Amino acid sequence: MLEAKNLMVFFENALALNDLSLGVRQGEIVAVLGSNSAGKTTLMNTVSGLMIDMQKKEARKGGVRITVMGELRYENEDILHLKPSARVKKGIVLSQERHPIFRDSDVLENLKIAGYLRKGSELKQSIGLIFELFPILRHLKKRKAGLLSGGEQQMLAIGIALVAKPRLLLMDEPLLGLSPLLQADLARAVRNIREQGITILISEQFARPIMPIIDRGYVIENGMLVITGTREELAGNPEVRAAYIGA
């Protein structure tokens, strides 16, 4: 479904992704594990197309020069230079670590705003699914988004991404900063999202909550691929366990 070959991303002379190759098959949950500044967010921004917007903004203001090289294919189509809006139309949707929400609007209004281009019946169906995945949001649907807890805001952010009807959902560190209980709840929700026919690429620093639900994973350091394997292979690797599972 998604194939990246020899991806390289430069911020001026700093190398953020270094000859990185990975693949995601339809129906999988694939993890990208790495420490802070390993290149996880750069990878997600490159796959989603946000890197193109960043390039344009930096070029306009004469800032950091961003260069993207390599090959990125989605369903056999070269998308490396495709605008992010075009990628969303093809089903590639990113849920960011600090996904913007409309803080002064309530939960239901946030979801409706995100789905303003959708038909009424489709949007209603999507919102119903989101409330099934995150029952707490149903009870908080009239609460201002800015008054939600960090975990509740993260659920809403994922809901906003789901309104766009993704076929490939990119999740950039959705568990960061959450309590162990909320991490477990979100991990279960991710598994349930896959059951809706959605393929998932998820990045995380700490793998323990998501290890039971992933099919395969990649470990990156300094923008380079260092380890790859199935869930069982990664869970049994002493280096992965020490650095990313905490055991």
Residue 117 has pLDDT above 70, yes or no: no
Span 200-228, average pLDDT? 93
**Do the domain assignments include residue 155?**
yes
Residue in 138, 136, 135, 128 with CA at minimum distance from that of residue 196: 128
Sign, CA dihedral 143-168-174-97, equals: negative
Answer for the pair 176, 98: CB distance below 8 angstroms, yes or no: no
Q: CB under 8 Å to 232, separation ≥6 — which residues?
A: none
**Do the domain assignments include residue 121?**
yes
Domain of residue 108 covers 98-164
**Do the domain assignments include residue 2?**
no
**Do the domain assignments include residue 142?**
yes
**Do the domain assignments include residue 58?**
no
**Do the domain assignments include residue 107?**
yes
pLDDT tens-digit map of 25-53 = 999 999 999 988 889 999 999 999 999 99
The percent of residues in the chain predicted with pLDDT above 90, rounded, is 51
Give 59's pLDDT tier (boundaries 50, 70, 90): confident
Domain count, the chain: 1
**Do the domain assignments include residue 9?**
no
Span 199-227, average pLDDT? 93
Q: How far apart are CA 227 and CA 47, in angstroms?
A: 20
